[in-house]
Structure 1
Amino acid sequence: MRILVTGANGYLGRAVVGALRRAGHDPVAMTRTEMPCGEQVIRVADLLDGAELRKALEGVDAVCHLAGLTRARESLVQPLRYFQVNTAGTVTLLNAMDAVGVPQIVFASTGAIYGSPEHQPMTEDTADAPPHPYAASKLAAELAIFAQAGTGRLSATVLRLMNVAGGADIDSSRLIPRTIAAAVDDSVLEVNGDGKAVRDYVHIEDAAAAFVACFGRMPQRGEARRYIVGSGHGTSVLEVVAAVEKCTGRHIRLLHKPPAPEPLTLISDPARARDELLWYPACSGIQEIIRDSLAASPNG
């Protein structure tokens, strides 16, 4: 299958392109700017430019839509930018797909849409309660996808990703890269509150494998499905610190800041993805994630 991958030069995009190719698909990498292509087929298009998208979609069978803005705190001060890129960009892509007759999409969404539910672990039946514009913009994009599928012109799968980690993750806003940097640089790691907040980390390769699994089991036209993609178990901030210390052999100095207004525990139940997509988080243990992150780090 020839699959256009939006956001192909991002952290998740690079992993998904590689996983699709290894599975025998023909991924076409869509980026906003020119980049060294190597063996990849590169198409340059802006997610908000319908004409560019229609050109990028020529000759493809399906879309893996990963492009978007992802920083929750940033979305609080730039909400319109997040709705423009994540929601309006997805609508523009759907219009372009409809215009050129591309009938299948797999969309990267976020488990942040569930907010802070009391009942854990979270399932696909957990009520939506987006706590910030980032999550709200992704939910709005999901609703547009489901509505378009309801017309009978689209087959869609939505993956709500938990905390993707491991590999060459250089995003210093995320906990694991920050913790590794503190160990390598012997710097202080700032921690909100007591460090007992628990999150669900899924290895980047497991996340990429979930997208591959979707393309092997796409629903019929007129149908849309949603799955949570997570490890199914939680790891606290202090447990992440301990895992990095164990893997590096270095002590990490902590500076405890005032607690942030955030949920104590967020854990997923990926049973539906396991049962229907035959997907399983094979390498999402925290020690494996940390070891892989260190191996990919230039200073590891």
Structure 2
Amino acid sequence: MRVLVTGATGYVGRAVVRELRVHGHEPVSSRQRLSEPFLPVDADAVIHLAGVARVRESFEDPLSYYETNVGGTLNLLKALEGQRFLFASTGGVYRPSDVPLNEESFREPSSPYAATKAAAEDLVAWAARSGRIGATTLRLFNVAGGGDTDTTRVITRAVACAAGTVPGMEVFGDGSAVRDFVHVSDVARAFVVALEACSVGTSSVYNVGATAASVRDVLDTVSAVTGRAVDVTWRPAHPGEVRFQQADVSRLRALGWEPSHSSLEQIVKDQWHASAPEPGPGPSR
């Protein structure tokens, strides 16, 4: 299939483009601004990864988040007719729960960013129900590994601290909060599996997660893998902090997907190897 990928040069986008090629598809990058109307899309499918995705920033400027994430998705959907459409959403759309979240769990976004993703999910689902497209939404949990450069993410920040490329990190709470981590290469594979299962007139949703681990688990694993301590400043927990989040991925597994690179140790090792500083020259003679 010829597949248009928005956000193809981004962190997840680069991995998705590689995986598409491995499986015989032809990825085409889109460099068009989401705020502009799209011309009719000359492709069999679209994987929509472009958008803005900083949770804390979204509280400061929610309007621009709606303009880009919702308005941009609308502009793209208007240019489609008869294609498969895959949309990257977030596990942040769910109401917090003490049990693993499945795709039918109640949505209750806790940030403007997550709210824009939930709104765009609805746009995509209604477009599919009309028969205009085939739609699949993938709710990504905490994507990590693969040389990520976004040090607002906990694994990336902790590894960067160990590498000495950032001065330290803040942890809010006692480190017992649990999140679900998944390697970016496993995320890319999920997009390809979902693409091949998608058909026009249908709408599906899949969680993409793999390994539940606490912040302390992350810090301990980074120290064990790198042999270096992580400099942490402990802060009081934010009010209303989500204490536990884990994805039920049985629906995606039913399509044949398995997370093969997403143990916590594998993710940390991969991120460390991709970002550790090069050794300096030996002593002169």
TM norm structure 2: 0.94
- Deviation by residue 1:189-235 (Cα, 9 ceiling, x = unmatched): 3211111111000000000000010121113x22100010100x311
Is residue 2:89 matched to residue 1:106?
A: no
Distance 1:249 1:156 in 2: 45
Report the Cα offset of residue 54 of structure 1. Answer: 1.2
Report the Cα offset of residue 258 of structure 1. Answer: 1.1
Distance 1:151 1:190 in 2: 47
Match of 2:169 in 1: 189
Match of 1:133 in 2: 112
- Deviation by residue 1:62-121 (Cα, 9 ceiling, x = unmatched): 100000111111111110111100001000000011xxx35210110001000312x410
Is contact 2:86-2:136 (8 Å) kept?
A: yes
Is contact 1:187-1:252 (8 Å) kept?
A: no
Report the Cα offset of residue 47 of structure 1. Answer: 1.2
Matches within 5 A, 1:83-102: 83-97=66-80, 101-102=81-82
Structure 1 segments of 4 or more deviating over 2 A? 186-189
Distance 2:208 2:156 in 1: 21
Letter in 1 for 2:176: K
Is contact 2:178-2:212 (8 Å) kept?
A: yes
Match of 1:26 in 2: 26
Report the Cα offset of residue 239 of structure 1. Answer: 0.7
Letter in 2 for 1:128: R
Is residue 2:201 matched to residue 1:216?
A: no
The one of 65, 69, 91 aligned to 1:82: 65
Distance 1:94 1:178 in 2: 35
The one of 212, 224, 229 aligned to 1:234: 212
TM norm structure 1: 0.89
Match of 2:234 in 1: 256
Distance 2:23 2:213 in 1: 30
Distance 1:252 1:132 in 2: 28
Match of 1:122 in 2: 101
Distance 1:49 1:9 in 2: 19
RMSD: 1.3
2:136 match: secondary structure = strand
Match of 1:289 in 2: 267
Is residue 2:183 matched to residue 1:203?
A: yes
4-13 vs 187-196, greater mean Cα deviation: 187-196
Letter in 1 for 2:35: L
Is contact 2:82-2:134 (8 Å) kept?
A: no
1:146 match: secondary structure = helix
2:19 match: secondary structure = helix
Match of 1:179 in 2: 158
**Are residues 287 and 149 of structure 1, via their aligned partners in 2, closer, same or farther at CA, if it must alter by over 3 Å?**
same
Is contact 1:161-1:228 (8 Å) kept?
A: yes
Match of 2:36 in 1: 49
Report the Cα offset of residue 286 of structure 1. Answer: 0.5
Is residue 2:46 matched to residue 1:63?
A: yes
The one of 157, 177, 200 aligned to 2:136: 157
Letter in 2 for 1:189: M
Distance 1:298 1:29 in 2: 30
Report the Cα offset of residue 150 of structure 1. Answer: 1.1
Q: Aligned residues, how many? A: 276
- Deviation by residue 1:157-193 (Cα, 9 ceiling, x = unmatched): 1000000000110001111111112112184332111
Letter in 2 for 1:88: G
Report the Cα offset of residue 298 of structure 1. Answer: 5.0
Structure 2: give runs of 5+ residues left out of the alignment. Answer: 279-285
